[in-house]
Amino acid sequence: MAVSLPDENFTLQATGRVARRQAVSRASKWVLLGASMIGVVVLFALMVDTIVVGWSRISWSFFTSYPSRFADQAGLRSSFIGSIWILSLTIVFVVPIAIATAIWIEEFAPKTRLLEFVKLNLANLAGVPSIIYGVLGLAVFVRLFGWGSSILAGSFTLFLMILPMTVIASQEAIRQVPPSLRQGSLALGATEWQTVWYHVLPGALPGIITGVILALARAAGETAALIMIGAFTFIAFDNTSIWDSFTTMPIQVYNWTVRPQEAFRQNAAAGILVLMTVVLTFNIAAAALRERFRN
Amino acid sequence: MALGIKFGWRTAAGIGLAASAMLLSVACGSDDSTSTATATATGSGGATATAAPTEAGLDYAALTGTIRIDGSSTVFPISEAVAEEFSKVSKVRANVGFSGTGGGFEKFCRGETEISDASRPIKDSEREACKANGITDIVEIQVAIDALTVMVNPQNDWAACMTTKEVHDAFKGGGATKWSDIRPEWPNENIKFYYPGTDSGTFDYFVEAIIAGVNKDEKATHRGDGTASEDDNILAQGIENDRYALGYFGFAYYLEAGQKLSAVAIDAGKGCVEPSFDAALDGTYVPLARPLFIYTRESLLAEKPEVLGFVNFYVENMQTLVPDVGYVTLPEALYQAQVAKVAAFLP
């Protein structure tokens, strides 16, 4: 059986259905690239627009001034400090409780109806609009518990708001830890708790940190829920206790955007820049932490 | 290295758990700590306020404590301006929010705020809600007037007076495009529309008073095909340069700089009323003028010197601060009536 070999100049040329399939495949690359670019382009356009409008307002006094009716004297001082308080407290509440919940669900919970019930609720809670958490916070923390419109009430509200997403992210991270690690640990005589504490958690930590940070970015930008629980807008003192009234950066930005004067728009853009920088810093910190724990 | 990291992580987690436990225990004792804090503030404030009276009868610098002000976003800029100035002379923390007139009263009637901002008088239903919580000593202080003026070019010799219905038909979404669409005898010329930007309180107020006010059944929309600007100067210039222009902006701006233009009288069913201070005040320039208020309680004025101090400061300074934020100040007689309401409580 003599096979006629193609000569040197032969190139494989698909025809018919094969050619069509290949064309679709080539086109799909571009379509997918285009789809990915939409988000990037929009974010880029937003950033450029915000920087163009707001950059000139970024100065030291913008951080050291309290709100004012004069746009050029208004600053982020009280809202920046308020945001730091609120977010710090929220982290303190959410991290231990979210991790504990996730560990229970993934490692300890018997596979009963109760577990299914908890899981179902968490999944649903993650999709509840933030204003609902605001109403809940107002009814429970502000009024029932009598905490008033304080930093404590605000951070508890945000804690509840981001708890479901944080738990779900932590669950995912815990599930990524290979079962062989657990089996090895248990085989060597470690208790379940020791296994979780020394093997599962350290392995899951990078994923948990990512989840916490993403949830925190949502909390950092939250406005509606906090206005609902009675956060103020004009605050002219530095927060020193969890019982203080407070305002946060997104509330301040919102206030500035609804003002008719152009100069307040610039303040709003500058406020957005600061807010984005804070969130970006969180993300970078998370990436750094993640790398550290991974090694 | 691995050990070091593990140790560090465990310590960090331990600290986190301990910190949250501590905060939770603090949280449980909340009722006590808040009430003590308030009590101390009131006590010290009371002692000092009477100890060192000034010519106003109050020593602002000696006052301490916290005041919570919430309510109308329309009144917010005034209260914010007052709070800003007050923070320069006093240590009192005056916090201002804007959850809306209704939302403000809801908090006020629960005793969660000391002062409520309102862009309309308190409703009977709100008084009832206050009463249910034992709040019956409500004090109403008018702080300014918010009004709109409908403007045309000075050479416009036909539209001297328009009914609210005609104003509505002109500015509603898909409304008149030619003057003759409003009234057949008016010129068959295209109208150029000028109005404040959609984010402004003036725009909101116009939509509320005219668009939604005239036609309650229809889904109310404002036209979007005119020149919208947050800068009143641009609106005024546009109307000044175009004989067939029609626009509106805040009454305060008209008083200040709008005299080159002609104001349209408004007929709300009781004849044409020219926009003026007096008409805005006596309630005949409807629906384009409304009073702005703050509300507080007699018992707060009598017992909490920081509240009395703030309200007194508010009344003392509002005539200079109100124009700053674009509203109309009260005429002298009405102003003195507000002063008298507070003066009764001064030491």
CATH code (residue A186) = 1.10.3720.10
How would you label A97-116 residue by residue, b for 16+ Cβ within 10 Å and e otherwise?
Answer: bbbebbbebbbeeeeeeeee
B181 pLDDT higher than 80:
yes
Domain ranges of chain B: 50-145+290-343, 146-288
Order across the sheet with B265-267: list the strands: B161-163, B265-267, B272-273
Task: Examine domains B50-145+290-343 and B146-288 and report if their fold is the same.
Answer: yes
In a domain? residue A23: no
CA A15 to chain centre: 50
DSSP state of B153: -
Let me know if residue A290 belongs to a domain: no
Whether residue B159 is predicted with pLDDT greater than 60 in this model: the reply is yes
For the cut 90, the answer to whether the pLDDT of residue A31 exceeds it is yes
Question: For the segment A141-185, what is each residue's pLDDT rounded down to a tens digit?
Answer: 999 999 988 999 999 999 999 999 999 999 999 999 999 999 999
Q: Is the CA virtual torsion A122, A127, A130, A134 positive or negative? A: negative
Average per-residue pLDDT in chain A?
Answer: 89
For residues B71-108, b (16+ Cβ closer than 10 Å) or e, as one string? Answer: bbbbbbbbbbbbbbbbbeebebbbbbbbbbbebbbbbb
Tell me if A286 is assigned to some domain.
Answer: no
The answer to whether the CB atoms of A69 and B197 lie below 8 A apart is no
A293 touches B: beta carbon within 8 Å: yes
User: Is A152 inside any structural domain?
Assistant: yes
Is A51 inside any structural domain? Answer: no
Q: Which residues of B touch A202 (CB under 8 A)?
A: 6, 9
Number of H helices, E strands in chain A: 12, 0
- pLDDT of res. B36: 35
**Is A67 in the B-facing interface, judged by CB distances under 8 Å?**
yes
Q: Does A226 touch chain B (CB under 8 A)?
A: no
Q: How far apart are CA A163 and CA A90, in angstroms?
A: 10
Residue B152's pLDDT band (cuts 50, 70, 90): very high
Query: Nearest CB to B34: which of A197, A243, A261?
Result: A243
- pLDDT, tens only, A195-230: 999 999 999 998 998 899 889 888 998 998 998 888
Q: What backbone phi and psi angles, to 5 degrees, belong to A231?
A: -65, 140
DSSP count for chain B of H helices, then E strands: 15, 12
Q: Are B140 and B293 in contact (CB under 8 A)?
A: yes
Q: Name the CATH superfamily, with its identifier, for domain B146-288.
A: Periplasmic binding protein-like II (3.40.190.10)
Restricting to A residues 171-200, those with a Cβ less than 8 Å away from any Cβ of B are 197-198
ipTM: 0.76
What pLDDT score was predicted for residue A28? 93
Q: In this complex, which of A69, A95, A230 lies closest to B16 when CB atoms are compared?
A: A95
A258 lies in some domain = no
Question: CA-to-CA distance for B223 and B207, rounded, in angstroms?
Answer: 10
State CA B88 to chain mean position distance: 22
Least confident of B191-205, B265-279, B291-305: B191-205
Three-state secondary structure string covering B72-116: CCCCHHHHHHHHHHHHHHCCCEEEECCCCHHHHHHHHCCCCCCEE
Among A53, A65, A69, the strongest candidate for a mutation testing the B interface, having the largest count of B CBs within 10 A, is A69
Q: How far is B323 from chain A (nearest CA, A)?
A: 12
Q: What domain range includes position A195? A: 80-248
B77: which chain A residues are within 8 Å (Cβ-Cβ)? Answer: 69, 259
Q: Which fold has domain B50-145+290-343?
A: D-Maltodextrin-Binding Protein; domain 2 (3.40.190)
Bond into B287 cis (ω within 30): yes
Q: Is A95 on the interface with B (CB under 8 A)?
A: yes
Note whether A292 contacts B96, CB cutoff 8 Å.
Answer: no
Nearest to B170 by CA among B329, B264, B178: B178
In a domain, A217, yes or no: yes
Is the CB of residue A271 less than 8 Å away from at least one CB of chain B? no
Q: What's chain B's average pLDDT?
A: 80
> Which residue from A minimizes the CA distance to B96?
A234
Distance between CA B234 and CA B228 in Å, rounded? Answer: 9
With residue B67 as reference, give the H or E element that holds it.
strand B66-71
Residue of A92, A237, A257 with shortest CB distance to B16: A92
pTM of the model: 0.73
In a domain, A192, yes or no: yes
Compute the nearest-CA separation of B271 from chain A (Å).
33
DSSP helix/strand/coil, B292: strand
CB B223 within 8 A of CB B232: no
B232 token code pair? 């009143």
Label residue B9 by pLDDT band (50, 70, 90).
Answer: very low
For position B289, what pLDDT does the model report?
A: 87
Q: How many structural domains are present in chain A? A: 1
